[in-house]
Amino acid sequence: MTNRNNTFLDNFLKTTLLEYLPDFVIVYDHNNAILYWNQKAKETFGYT
């Protein structure tokens, strides 16, 4: 896979698949900063 395909796959996973999971999803980096959270997580924990 090229970098372009990886970027497409990453964006697809974040914008499509993770939003339709029944549970909340929060992705952290190694510094415990939130990289991504889906709409369910925003509704559960509040959007800041």
Q: Where are the domains of the chain?
A: 3-45
**pLDDT for residue 12:** 73
Query: Which neighbouring-strand residues pair with 26?
Result: 37
Q: What is the pLDDT of residue 1?
A: 43
State pLDDT tens for residues 1-48.
Answer: 445 556 776 777 777 777 787 888 888 888 988 888 888 888 888 875
Rounded Cα distance, 23 and 30, in Å: 22
Whole-angstrom distance, CA of residue 41 vs CA of residue 48? 11
Reported for 2-11, long-range contacts at CB under 8 A and 24+ positions apart, including other chains, are none
pLDDT on residue 2: 46
The reported pTM is 0.53
